[in-house]
Amino acid sequence: MSDRTGPSPTAPESIITATQDQRTGNPEPNARAVLQAAFRDLHGARLHGFALLVSLGDRHAAAAASSEALSGAGRRLSELRHPERAAAWLRARVARSLSRRGHPAEPEHERRETLRGLGVTDAAFAGLATLSPRERAVFVAAAIERLEPIDVEEVAGRDPAGASRLLNRARRRYLGGALAALDSDLAREAAWPAPPGLLAARVEKVASRTGLGAR
């Protein structure tokens, strides 16, 4: 009836509280849906991109893994204490899911085409293809998404030393694979826009201090 006495003074201070049912103190179903939608909007696309890279362009696997991770997180939003770590949590879940899968179902040319939409060149594809799914997950998290080391460890599911070893191995293998592809098919790569050359610029900058820079 007229129970409506306003917000409870003991209500916890959280974003969810703002949308609580004032009579029962429970989060309103609609509020939960809104939060889940916001969370999904915030993380969905990049997580899907991550999953596409880790699955090496397997759209079905990537969609399933990222959707599963998002919905799993959506169910536990009320437990979210460190939003800045949510991306790593999601990626760890995706990585686990994808590493349990077998070989990609889609043919390579389709997967290659899918990843082209994310800016993956043929050389990069070849480099990524040399990695295991877990190595790819760690490599993508660190070298492409530039997550913090603590997050990379989370994605790797290992301690710092183990994650570092995994990442170093992934870098080495990626470089070997990409380099082989560059050797074999430079003509196709030439069709791509030149990379930004951040690393090249750094190297050149150091070399130029000696007056022996190449460019």
Partner 1 sequence: MTRGRQPEAPDLHERFGLWLQAGAPGEPARDVAVHAAHCPGCRALVDAWDRLALIDTGLAPMPPSGAKASAPGRRLPLRAGTALAGATAVVAVAALIGASGPGLPGFGQSAGTPSSDQQVLGGAGAGENRPSPSASPETRATGTPMATPSATPEASPEPASQSASPDGTPLPIVTPPPPPPPPPTPRPTAAPTPTRPTPTPRATPSEEPSVPPPSVPPSEEPSVPPPSEEASTPASVEPSASPG
**Which of positions 132-191 make contact with partner 1 (CB under 8 A)?**
140, 142-145, 154, 167-168, 171-172, 174-176, 178-179, 182-183
What is the smallest separation between the CB atom of 85 and partner 1, expressed in angstroms? 4
- Read off the tokens for 202: 């750094």
Nearer to partner 1, 29 or 109 (CB): 29
Decide if residue 39 touches partner 1 (CB under 8 A).
no
Cβ atoms 144, 89 nearer than 8 A: no
**Among 146, 143, 174, 169, CA closest to 158:** 169
Number of residues located near partner 1, criterion CB under 8 A: 96
Cβ partners under 8 Å of residue 19, min gap 6: 27, 28, 30, 31, 34, 35
Query: Do 128 and 49 contact (CB within 8 A), yes or no?
Result: no
Site membership for partner 1, residue 4 (CB under 8 A): no
55 in helix, strand or coil? coil
Q: Is 72 in the site for partner 1 (CB under 8 A)?
A: yes
Beta carbon of residue 208, minimum distance to partner 1 (angstroms, whole number): 8
Instruction: Please select the residue that binds partner 1; options are 44, 106, 132, 158, rule is CB under 8 A.
Output: 44
Residues linked to residue 158 through DSSP beta bridges, in sequence order: none
CA distance 15 to 214: 55
15 binds partner 1 (CB under 8 A): no
Structure tokens at 186: 């430079």
CB-nearer residue toward partner 1: 107 or 119: 119
Q: Which stretch binds partner 1 (CB under 8 A): 23-31, 103-111, 130-138?
A: 23-31
